Chains A and B, each alone.
Chain A
Amino acid sequence: AAGVIQSPRHLIKEKRETATLKCYPIPRHDTVYWYQQGPGQDPQFLISFYEKMQSDKGSIPDRFSAQQFSDYHSELNMSSLELGDSALYFCATAGRGYGYTFGSGTRLTVV
């Protein structure tokens, strides 16, 4: 069965560069959530979208932005990258009433 697809799987960027992470949901999933997970930490909620509109905002820095497109895929844009942005970034997608499914994540390393 199709799962949540995230790309790229790994990304290495230098400080002050920009990065774009992509998330493709399971068909008919209308909600996307983005999480950041640092080493040894639980996932921290960044932002979510429902039906292409931002539905909730967590601890997303102002340097980051995200959107959900008409095909329900989502992109997380990260600018002025800092060393502390190095983490595993998960997206999860959901349909009403069902547990959400995570993508395999994008491992971002800022050097």
Chain B
Amino acid sequence: RKEVEQDPGPFNVPEGATVAFNCTYSNSASQSFFWYRQDCRKEPKLLMSVYSSGNEDGRFTAQLNRASQYISLLIRDSKLSDSATYLCVVNILFTSGTYKYIFGTGTRLKVLA
């Protein structure tokens, strides 16, 4: 089982729709969580960090459920420009003090006119 799992999609949604992605993680030592957006042939860019209390940035809402070990990303009022791959990233902190970031495989979103 992969440490961080996402549904690869694609999710095809009409403009204006609300869409949600989940990402599950298996390591309970996971400390920090992030959503990245990657456009075709470009580098991934940080979309938002995910806080324990949940957080919102405009049309984007991120939630963390530690008990069930998943994070979610909700996009409201989808725009054509939201079409991209959304990568979930989990930061695991080891007792040695080192940490590593693990990617999910990404969820592809296509917003259709």
Contacts and interface: CB of A to CB of B under 8 A. Distances in A.
* Chain A interface main SS type: strand
Interface of B: 31-32, 34, 36, 41-46, 49, 85, 87, 89, 91, 98-106
B45 A99 contact: no
A88 B31 CA distance: 29
A33 B91 contact: no
A33 B101 contact: yes
A24 interface: no
Interface residues on A, range: 20 to 34
A99 B43 contact: no
Nearest to B106: A42
Interface of A: 31, 33, 42-43, 45, 48, 50, 55-56, 88, 90, 92, 94, 96-105
Contacts of A102: 43-45
A97 B106 CA distance: 22
Given A97-B31, A104-B43, A42 B105 contact: yes
Given A42-B103, A50-B98, A101 B46 contact: yes
Given A97-B31, A100-B89, 20 more contacts: A31-B99, A42-B87, A42-B106, A43-B44, A45-B102, A45-B103, A50-B99, A90-B44, A92-B44, A92-B101, A94-B101, A97-B32, A97-B91, A98-B32, A99-B32, A99-B34, A99-B46, A99-B89, A101-B46, A104-B42
A89 to B, nearest CB: 10
A96 B45 CA distance: 18
A55 B102 CA distance: 13
Contacts of A97: 31-32, 91
A94 B100 CA distance: 9
A99 B49 contact: yes
Contacts of B49: 99
Contacts of B106: 42
